[in-house]
């Protein structure tokens, strides 16, 4: 409906295809109109508002006059546009839609197999690089951000029909492993590592970084061990493989708790052997220069530091390994887009990598996207494994599940499958807390906020789903009928034209827009905030509109169908965030 209204506005005002309108960004010159359509703050003012201020510069008219012209034009098209009334409010032209028609169109679309969301990504491939923890370091709350953001974006793109390749680009190569080998040989043992696992590796890593301040020669030893790894030294690689195996076990335990899996675990080590070929390509293109013994790409022309390809000892570095990874992924997957979900502090790194791809003459540099997120701090200090200022993801998840279980014991001790429900509620609370915030915002970790079950939280959304499902179960038990997707031939749409039902249906109609906007801006918070709005409108509908006690059967059936569709969209939208919903709680 909104597209038809937008096109009608362009036609009435004579803006279609005009150079002025295109240059001002009023319209895009495509099938999808960009005329601004807003929602009035009060439904009594209308269902759709068209601000006419944006047209004033082109039409050289007062916005109020433009609104009046629009009103006259739209009055002639009310029936075909599905409008009941058109009014002017200052510089706005406000529209009241035909509720019965709107309800029918919206619910019929929402009741299809994909809940009205078009599969716009079919035959397109997106590579998604996320999570990517460093080997031999605990999976901490910072890793949790990239993991849940990336997982949600994967689910959103998958919903839109894209073929998504989930890549866990493990940090399993680099000088830090030289540090670990030195630390292991000086301060640990095979028995200690086997007993304490990754915690032992973390402890000796922190010890190394403390000791090197007074003993800088330790760094020379670390670099030597890493060079040995690069040259295939058997002892160095054997220790490295051992540390890697221990780490993967730890990571998988967290991924299992989150219900997350990957299509590829090709980390940095996979690409180290591809760097020599990359060096040759860069030499052929005259892109490499020597700087203090290292090979770099000069990016000063683009106001960036040099992009290092090999260090002075000849070893690879994360820039060269990431460039090699781009080339490999394009060849293997022929991606249409490749996303990198990493911290904001890595922005310069990816600008350098993407610029290197561009300078190599590869036009798919435009398809490489860094999706940054803000830092997680603890009491205002940056998380750091070097200093030990850290909170582990597994501890957060376990504590959330524990608190959810205690709440269930208090509120509903007879609930079946309490452990399973507690896991869904606790972990859902952690995920929703992260994804409700815009990803670019910095977060100061707070146990109180993360594990809160009140307000705009995951448990609130899950409870709304449980409430809807409870209504449906009671209806099925009382009537003997099985609720199903909307039967457009039998539903009484007029029965859903009251204010509360209509407000809920308008929000349901915004589901496709929310999913598309989340994909376009790489922002799962749009889906999370949509869910809160949907649940708020549903709970108001639930309070104000009798459902099971409604005596008119046609109205009752219509409201049951509305409950059913809402429950399905809540369940699916939670799934897009990586959150499971219990049937009872």
- How many residues does this entry show for the chain? 585
Q: Which of 143, 179, 423, 424 is catalytic?
A: 143
CA distance 485 to 512: 18
* Residue whose entry in the numeric block shows the structure tokens 């953001």: 149
**Catalytic site residue 140?**
yes
Q: Which two tokens stand for residue 441?
A: 């915002």
Q: Which two tokens stand for residue 110?
A: 């929402």
For 198-230, give one letter per residue: b (16+ CB within 10 A) or e.
bebbbbbbbebbebbeeeeebeebbbbbbbbbb
Q: Which two tokens stand for residue 237?
A: 């690689």
Burial class, 479, CB count within 10 angstroms (exposed 0-12 / middle 13-18 / buried 19+): middle
* Residue whose entry in the numeric block shows the structure tokens 């035959």: 123
Q: Which two tokens stand for residue 413?
A: 């001790």
Q: Which of 71, 109, 115, 137 is catalytic?
A: 137
CA distance 54 to 21: 10
What does the radius of gyration of the chain's CA atoms come to, in whole angstroms? 28
Tally of CB atoms within 10 A around 83: 23
Q: Which of 109, 140, 433, 469 is catalytic?
A: 140
In the sheet that holds 337-343, the strands lie side by side as 163-167, 125-129, 337-343, 368-373
343 has which bridge partners?
Answer: 373
* SS3 at position 166: strand
| Residue numbers annotated as active site | 137, 140, 143
């Amino acid at each position: 409906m909104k597209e038809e209204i937008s096109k009608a506005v362009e036609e009435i005002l004579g803006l279609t295809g005009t150079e002025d309108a295109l240059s001002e960004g009023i319209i895009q010159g495509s099938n999808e109109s960009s005329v601004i359509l807003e929602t009035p703050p009060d439904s009594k003012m209308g269902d759709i508002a068209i601000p006419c201020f944006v047209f004033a510069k082109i039409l050289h008219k007062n916005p109020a006059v433009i609104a009046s012209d629009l009103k006259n034009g739209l009055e002639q098209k009310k029936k075909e546009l599905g409008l009941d009334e058109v009014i002017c409010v200052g510089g706005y032209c406000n529209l009241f839609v035909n509720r019965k028609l709107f309800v029918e169109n919206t619910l019929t679309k929402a009741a299809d197999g994909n809940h009205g969301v078009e599969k716009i990504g079919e035959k397109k491939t997106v590579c998604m690089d996320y999570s990517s923890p460093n080997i031999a370091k605990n999976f901490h709350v910072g890793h949790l951000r990239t993991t849940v953001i990336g997982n949600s974006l994967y689910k959103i793109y998958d919903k839109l029909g894209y073929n998504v390749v989930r890549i866990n680009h493990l940090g399993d190569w680099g000088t830090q492993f030289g540090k670990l080998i030195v630390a292991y040989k000086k301060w640990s043992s095979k028995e200690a590592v086997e007993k304490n696992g990754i915690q032992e590796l973390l402890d000796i890593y922190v010890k190394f970084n403390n000791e090197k301040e007074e003993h800088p020669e330790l760094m020379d030893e670390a670099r030597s061990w890493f060079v040995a790894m690069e040259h295939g030294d058997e002892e160095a690689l054997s220790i490295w493989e051992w540390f890697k195996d221990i780490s993967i076990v730890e990571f998988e335990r967290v991924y299992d708790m989150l219900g997350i899996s990957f299509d590829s675990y090709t980390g940095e080590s996979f690409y180290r052997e591809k760097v020599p070929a990359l060096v040759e390509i860069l030499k052929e293109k005259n892109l490499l220069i020597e700087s203090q013994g290292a090979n770099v790409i000069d990016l000063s022309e683009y106001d960036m530091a040099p992009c290092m390809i090999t260090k002075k000892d000849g070893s690879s570095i994360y820039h060269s390994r990431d460039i090699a990874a781009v080339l490999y992924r394009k060849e293997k997957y022929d991606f249409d887009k490749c996303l990198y979900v990493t911290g904001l502090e890595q922005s310069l790194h990816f600008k350098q990598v993407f610029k290197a791809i561009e300078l190599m003459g590869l036009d798919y540099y435009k398809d490489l996207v860094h999706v940054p997120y803000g830092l997680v701090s603890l009491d205002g200090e940056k998380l750091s494994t070097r200093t030990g200022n850290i909170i582990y993801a597994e501890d957060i998840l376990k504590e959330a599940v524990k608190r959810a279980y205690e709440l269930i014991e208090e509120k509903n001790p007879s609930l079946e499958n309490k452990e399973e429900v507690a896991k869904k509620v606790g972990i859902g609370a952690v995920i929703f807390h992260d994804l409700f915030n815009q990803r670019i915002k910095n977060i100061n970790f707070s146990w109180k906020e993360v594990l809160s079950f009140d307000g705009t939280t995951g448990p609130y959304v899950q409870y709304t789903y449980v409430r809807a499902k409870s209504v449906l179960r009671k209806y099925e038990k009382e009537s003997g009928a099985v609720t199903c997707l909307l039967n457009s031939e039998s539903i009484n749409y007029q029965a859903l034209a009251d204010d509360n039902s209509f407000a809920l249906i308008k929000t349901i109609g915004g589901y496709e827009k929310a999913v598309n906007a989340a994909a376009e801006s790489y922002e799962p918070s749009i889906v999370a905030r949509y869910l809160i709005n949907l649940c708020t409108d549903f709970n108001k509908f639930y309070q104000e509109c009798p459902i099971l006690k409604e005596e008119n059967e046609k109205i009752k059936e219509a409201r049951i169908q509305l409950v059913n569709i809402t429950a399905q969209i809540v369940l699916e939208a939670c799934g897009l965030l990586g959150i499971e919903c219990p049937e009872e709680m």
